[in-house]
Structure 1
């Protein structure tokens, strides 16, 4: 063995001895409380994982007792309008309930109505749903239209834009679970009417639960998330800068595909009726066209009506659309 090799071995022995001496001494000092133990980095909390479609599909929705509140001013004949409330995962949610003024010896079918986006500053209970709800109530249906958290007399959502968005289907599923507490209602005969972003919420709830609830969708928002919300930011004062920052924050810690409805359409088992106005400037006709192409491939039962010249609220074809909905629910919710 030459002198160089001997020297290298000697250095390695010295260094390893120094390491083990440091390791043993450090452990002894830590045990004696002289220095603290080595601390591993704390994992980043990911509270929104409970809202992935997979996670929401695995949990239970128990709802609560539906409480009936004050009577609302109602000049229309054929039904009474009142406030109602229930609890969704411990948070109070309010809304409007309509009761048909009909013979109540038999339990009545129920329509849950889900509105689209609304400005919190100008919103009032019933906004976006009251006209359709009136027609359904006049035709013998109990109607329930939740305000959602942060609206009407409801509790506020958590202080996170994504928590608020992803929790909306949870509110709907807890409301559906609460219908059985209404003595006048038949929980086996329930339908959903939804407009715009309410359509996205309805489809999400159907995909999560796989409930076979007949659902009619007016100009539903059905593009992949987060494009489905970025599309509307051209009307924002900051042109969507704040929202894009929030999306970057979300994408840093989460896979956004886990929160996108379009990846879970195959879970839907409910019959659907879709209405789309050709003059809609909020939800492009192509969105609904693309949706029905996907439904075709998935062999999901649907009916699709294009209303020529009708806008986002189906003005120009409103009576035609609501009549089609009455026929749809009469067929699907027959005794």
Structure 2
């Protein structure tokens, strides 16, 4: 099964201009050509066509982990990124030097800033917003290049106006990145991090800068290429990061068989997707098996497993219960809640996703 990319991120009912999830590249059945530091792991054609059996889950014995909920992780405006305002189905953001307007289905309230502030936007996404739309950007002031330099906490990377309205970074994840970096530094030992569905690699760069050895997996060769560009931009080319073009689930299954183990696992699976050979990923059906798989590839003294869930019509209590069941007998704490971005205009909070993380 390929690593699918969800087309919607909003877990609420979707109005006409609701924002899709991270739309990534269409998968090519041909094997991509590998480059230095980038591996492509594939099966033969006949093995790819066989639909794998669903993972058999064993009942976990032992005491359930402690719990902390609800935990609301907040990203406040800063010099690198700010949610300036939102309302009427859109959001106004500052990404580095550019002011950007994009659809936001959850912004059902009124805008706080006057129209003149919104009219100062450098880029506006005005494309077709249905699931198959390719999207378009409009540049009111002057045409802008496809990419531009951005920064997160001292890490340089490339922003990009993608055809599905995203720009290559999801600022709400910064709370997880900071937490992960703290765990890596505090461990005072070599730490191995596995980043599944890793996209453009900001989490991987944060982990590598903190001193971890990182394995970054994404099924999209273009996403991996972008992530490698970001590594160069950040001046972290000497850091140990393996870039692997592969289906995340297949790679994790292979690591389990190989006996490869990790101290931290990050995974951000889509809600729904379909692969090039008709393979189907359904989060509610397949997430339990993937979560169990993440536990199976942990080291004897693991640090954390972090699950982010966009685009699901469920409470965070659902993934919280799943994570506690999966990590029964391992001690630690399961923390669950929502990732939010705090607005600069009047301080409203925009919820972006659910999460649940087990911390040793």
How high is the TM-score relative to the length of structure 1? 0.30
| Structure with the higher fraction of residues in strand conformation | 2
Q: Please say which structure displays the higher CA radius of gyration.
A: 1
How high is the TM-score relative to the length of structure 2? 0.28
| Structure with the higher fraction of residues in helix conformation | 1
